[in-house]
Chain A
Amino acid sequence: MRARSLYLSLAFLLVLPVWAGLDHGSSASPAIHGGLSETRHVPGAEGPTRARGEEAPPFQGGATHIQHWVSASGARVYFVENRDLPMLDVSVSFAAGSARDPSPAAAGLARMTHQLMRLGAGPWSEQALAEALADVGAVLSGHFDADRAGFSLRTLSDERERTRAVAVLRAVLAEPHFAPAVLVREKARAVAGLKEAATQPGYLGEKAFKAALYASHPYAQEASGEIEAIERLTVEDLQGFHRRHYVARNATVAILGDLDRAAAAALAEFLTAALPAGEAPPPLPEVEVAATGSERVIPHHATQSHLFVGMPAIRRDDPDFFPLVVGNYILGGGGFDSRLLNEIRVKRGLAYSAYSQLEPMQALGPFRIGLQTRREATDAALEVVRKTLEDFLREGPTEAELRQAKDFLVGSFPLRLDSNRKILEQLAVIGFYRLPLDWLAQYPARVEAVTREDIVRAFRARIRPEALHTVVVGGQREAQSN
């Protein structure tokens, strides 16, 4: 039997460290050593596979196979039929992430609501619910970030298993218990997790970085919340948040697998019919980007310094999405194809990992550069980061770099579509962010159309050196002398 690693499960309880990507099944490792995920290079779209029929049509990204409709309950539904394996994946997402916490004084409400929904619902107590899923071998998991909260269900598609598993998911969405004893326990676990996290440089840096970038915007808040706020949470708070946000008109249902359109329609209806119609929440406030950046050093005992450099930069619906994705691959998203990893690691041996990342979100998501290096190399690494970024902003990529980036991004496109899990993620994102249905079909052509000038213009418009925020946890001499 394979279970999660202690480190990963604890990490999940705490925050969701950015490197905790679990792929390829749960790690058999009891240890700690990160996930088993392969490196993925860009935060771009992943999408549906073709349903492989007898005629085996040429590969087209399968985008034409996405079916979309609005259920009678008001939920938006996205469906891809795929009969290759006798299984079914369903995800239901809501605009109910941590950015929907009503105030900093309630930081953690959205997360705690989401957390408790699975811990007892409908006719099932917490234990009975877990047993009901286990009895049919189904896996119910949650996803939660600043924008989005929801649940994903993986089950065998046979009638017996599917019916039971789907009934549990319906109850989780519409009829969670929010039992007082469970809340007391989960608050204690969350608080313990946050206290543990506060000893870890990665968490401290991430928190300070978000605070620097987002000031009073809801994105400033770590998804896991704040200890004092969590301790104040009541069952009524959770019930209120649930009533307001987990409503049909705020729901995106993604369905993928071994069923036909009629069955998918019935499934979407079944899952959301018990939800109040409600209303989708208003858009998040605009992010105000400060004209000047900031610098902060947080002393820490760790052997490595953690560096964060960045600013708010990209929305999910950004018209320059593709120039930014391609440019970021060249700057620091493309691993050994990127300037950052070459400058920091290959040429200088300063770090194991160094990257730049664009995180497109509903409102302006962050651009960031991150790395970890031995403390005495902190200043040297920071200099390299700044120079690499400034050079990139000034000169843009070379034609050779651009060609390489496009070859990878276009050539690897089918790899984004090679499993049901990846397709489901794509569907959920396309649905939640209301991307066009031909998003995937268009992806290779839009990458191919990007020019050097597009990249320079798009980056200069969003990344300004004087507006960058820098957070260092650890630090060169500062920490040692403190």
Chain B
Amino acid sequence: MRDMRRRPINPSTLLWVLLIGLGLAWVGPARAGQGETYEHTLANGLKVIVKPDHRAPVVVSQLWYRAGSMDESYGTTGVAHVLEHMMFKGTAALPDGEFSRRIAAAGGRENAFTSRDATVYHQTLQADRLGLAFELEADRMVNLTLSPAAFAKEIEVVKEERRQRTEDNPHALLYEALMATAYQSHPYRHPVIGWMDDLEHLRVEDARAWYERWYAPNNALLVVVGDVEPAAVFALAERHFGAIPARALPLRRALAEVEPRGMRTVTVKAPARLAAAYLAWHVPRLADPAADWEPYALEVLAGVLDGHASARLPRALVREQQVAVDVGAYYDAVARGPGLFLLSLTAAEGKPLDAAVAALRREIERIQRDGVDAEELARVKAQVLAAQVFEQDSLFFQAREIGLWESAGLRHQTRRLRFERLREVTPEQVQAVARRYLVDDRLTLARLEPQPVEAGLARPTARLLGDRHAR
């Protein structure tokens, strides 16, 4: 999921960040009856899913609205994310900033993120304070102020966010170009944060229209994971959200991506030192968790290529041939829109990008021709098995997975099938999906051509700011 966040990661965590390597957290079944979920839908259509996890006296609450950047139109891209920012700017009852202040005063952390598929508001609190989160979320589901003055300031913040994340980041620019090229008809082609020109022209009325269109209980999902009892959470949800009326939702158009008819290439020139590329093929998403096999085979294929340090891509391209300093393979089986199987590489210094790309493609061809061996497959499955345990260490991650599945139109209970199905994937199936989908006619290649950073600008130069220095 490509997320925009309302609030940046606070660098005060530098000290802790140094432990980031700790690894990947995934989720799965646990001991002592953990892992069960409970589901209840209020009369107004708000679906509530609860997953008790009693390891610590803490709860995570995530409110998912099924409206992301893929629901936007030309001219108003970025509005989903802008509205996410505006949701913190006050309601009739609660002044600007008060939402965050009250959650903090209760010892809670809160934030929000917008993706292509959904907009999510979340809080983490001591478990007995969940009611506060519900109270405040219910209030802003219907009572948002959306003042023009607040909008005028916040849109500047969002433009700074875009500069910070995208304009000054060559790899972000490359990714943006890739998506805009790989998708021709589907709105996944738009960046979540929106095109800068659209941000320049967005008005508060656009945000209001978005809010009125999508922010309704029957377009929302409430996921609660932590030290709680399901019945109590359902009652609490009824108390705070129950009176909000359901609304007629706009017709959701079926959005399809046109069938690709040949390889596409896009080039981005930006100041950088190392060349880089993305390769993306159009592939299926998971539609039927019980019957589908291709998405699982594609997940395993990504694992064989880059699931661990001994996987094929880092071994071949970084360690043996040394044509790249970094490689990656990505595939999200679960999403609302059409899928991509994505490879990335950053070329080694002095190595032509085309040679590195060719080396990458040879690894794909090798799998298409020779398949994968049982040992590799077993290794990927060992990762799956461990991940199923490791993911249970994070309340937030567990809640996010439930939300992801549901917002993609899949029942979250079927997620447990994923682990079984992944373990059933055969070498023949991995080879078959590589042959069927990783073909040139489905490929988009995005190339970063580094531009020299102007010599005078790259070299640190001492210069005084003037005499405004603090006394």
Contact = CB atoms under 8 A, between A and B. Distances in A.
B439 interface: no
A19 B8 contact: yes
B13 A37 contact: yes
A297 B465 contact: yes
Contacts of B104: 334-337, 404, 407-408, 412
Given A43-B13, A59-B57, A28 B330 contact: yes
Interface in A23-75: 23-26, 28-43, 46, 49-50, 52, 59
A349 B3 contact: no
Contact of A87 (B153, B271, B389): B389
A40 B13 contact: yes
Q: Which of B126, B167, B332, B465 has the most A CB atoms < 10 Å from its CB? A: B465
B391 A25 contact: yes
A357 to B, nearest CB: 4
B54 interface: yes
A424 interface: yes
Contacts of A453: none
Interface stretch (B24-32, B67-75, B139-147): B24-32
Given A52-B54, A303-B163, A350-B160, A419 B395 contact: yes
B25 A24 contact: yes
Contacts, number: 439
Contact of A30 (B111, B164, B175, B471): B175
A252 interface: no
Nearest to A42: B12
Contacts of A295: 464-465, 469
B386 A40 contact: no
A374 B160 contact: yes
A139 B107 contact: no
Nearest to A375: B163
A478 B107 contact: no
Question: Secondary structure at chain B's binding surface: helix, strand, loop or mixed?
Answer: mixed
Interface in B153-201: 153-161, 163-165, 167-169, 171-172, 175, 192
11 contacts: A18-B14, A52-B56, A133-B309, A139-B390, A145-B15, A156-B386, A192-B325, A293-B469, A335-B104, A407-B107, A418-B56
Contact of B278 (A30, A195, A415): A30
Contacts of A134: 307-311, 379, 382-383
Nearest to B330: A30
Contacts of B463: 296-297, 478
Contact of B8 (A39, A189, A346): A39
A193 B106 CA distance: 43
A26 B24 contact: yes
Given A201-B168, A424-B22, A136 B272 contact: no
Contact of B465 (A5, A16, A22, A472): A472
A135 interface: yes
B329 interface: yes
Contacts of B465: 295, 297, 382, 470, 472
B429 to A, nearest CB: 15
Contact of A143 (B21, B346, B454, B457): B21
